[in-house]
Structure 1
């Protein structure tokens, strides 16, 4: 179900009640770790740069959000489909082919894919994706390999756990994999510092990835409409990118 399909229902509901988060109830937001955008573990609510920004720019404008603990990506999608969460905070993949899931029509961050390799790795730069053939590369389990990489015979090492990024960086440090694939440069820089891994970042010759959010078709239509309006404005003109760049300098 698309947002356009929900819009008439949302408009009717919004006309019958005040535009307050209390009227519609708090939206349950969740997902998996993409540091430092989204941080967390299975035992505590999500935090990180995106939460801080949403609290400042969206919650402060009357949209109530309930923060759930981190999960694996496959579990996050199942939670979205079942309605256990209303909004998936981070995705570059579209899920609107699923009848239980819809996508917002804005993105909040454009990123460039990178490989994180140990500083002593022989690979110095990636001019062609075919250079990655045969490499053991870590990434998140439960996702679709980006189209440009699907024809490259990479030995993918997938992890379907909430802390997949930190675990992959530890495996890289121990020499158990040759590189870690990231859709952005923020995560490897963050974990290189926190996990004390001496890395080099290799920019990949791929198109930018667009980070957006997905929502459950079972979510309250009026609350989703309110969130869409406020968040869409808050994320316009790369405002979150500027915030994230400053966040990384802390």
Structure 2
């Protein structure tokens, strides 16, 4: 009887360890991640993961959105397990690793006012002299840094909406976005008339990274299930509907 009781207790302990949720979070990139400080994040990634990943036995704890530096610091110190959005060299951050799959490719765009004289950009040199809003923290590409634009960097969590507000107020000439979904979604939500101009830059791969301090078994389970869920065009099609105000868009 004692052996049976010990075995049951051990099995329960192991089950509890397996069921411990991964803490997932990131910074605001509308509509992938939306929300307010101090409240669990919302957005397209959460909706998709809750629909296609969590039911497969992958419990997740939704953390509040933070700034880019705070998100990366939390990942490194182990208070965050999975960062939902990463691009460029983010996967090489000490104390972290990147999953070997990409869930989205995006194209950099500028959002400009409807009365802007800028109609198209064939060369980044055309940005010379323009005041452009962007986010404090991430490093701009060498081409953008050398373009001659004046970069206005914001530090607030809701940085994308803040840049569109500045654009509407006329304090900047354009807002830079690494994807086409954010400005479309935000402009529609806030009834701000903008035009989107694609920049002559290569697509950006968007992926997820995780803390090396996270539970290895939980990370492996998330990796296996999420990789299958994000395969093909399923998430891109979901995001297209989401950004256009279709099913699943938050109220």
- TM-score normalised according to structure 2 size: 0.89
1:13 is matched with which residue?
A: none
Distance 1:20 1:236, change over 3 A: farther
2:66 is matched with which residue?
A: 71
CA distance in 2, matches of 1:20, 1:33: 33
The RMSD of aligned alpha carbons is: 1.9
Contact 1:24 1:220 in 2 (8 A): no
CA distance in 2, matches of 1:60, 1:160: 36
Q: Which has the larger Rg? A: 2
2:214 is matched with which residue?
A: 219
Q: Which runs of 5+ in 1 are unaligned?
A: 1-15
- After superposition, the C-alpha distances for 1:32-64 in whole angstroms (9 at most, x for unaligned) are 111111111103110111100000111010001
- After superposition, the C-alpha distances for 1:195-225 in whole angstroms (9 at most, x for unaligned) are 2211110011110011111111111111111
CA distance in 2, matches of 1:228, 1:20: 19
**How many matched pairs?**
235
Q: Answer yes or no: is 1:173 the counterpart of 2:168.
A: yes
1:5 is matched with which residue?
A: none
1:4 is matched with which residue?
A: none
- TM-score normalised according to structure 1 size: 0.89
SS of aligned partner of 2:233:
helix
Contact 1:19 1:226 in 2 (8 A): no
CA distance in 2, matches of 1:18, 1:228: 23
Contact 1:29 1:68 in 2 (8 A): yes
Equivalent runs, 1:5-84 vs 2, <5 Å: 23=18, 25-84=20-79
Which one of 234, 238, 244 corresponds to residue 239 of structure 1?
234
Q: Answer yes or no: is 1:155 the counterpart of 2:156.
A: no
Q: Answer yes or no: is 1:86 the counterpart of 2:78.
A: no
- After superposition, the C-alpha distances for 1:82-130 in whole angstroms (9 at most, x for unaligned) are 1111111111132233321111111111111100000111101111111
Q: Answer yes or no: is 1:194 the counterpart of 2:189.
A: yes
CA distance in 1, matches of 2:234, 2:16: 23
1:164 is matched with which residue?
A: 159
CA distance in 1, matches of 2:139, 2:75: 17
Contact 1:74 1:160 in 2 (8 A): no
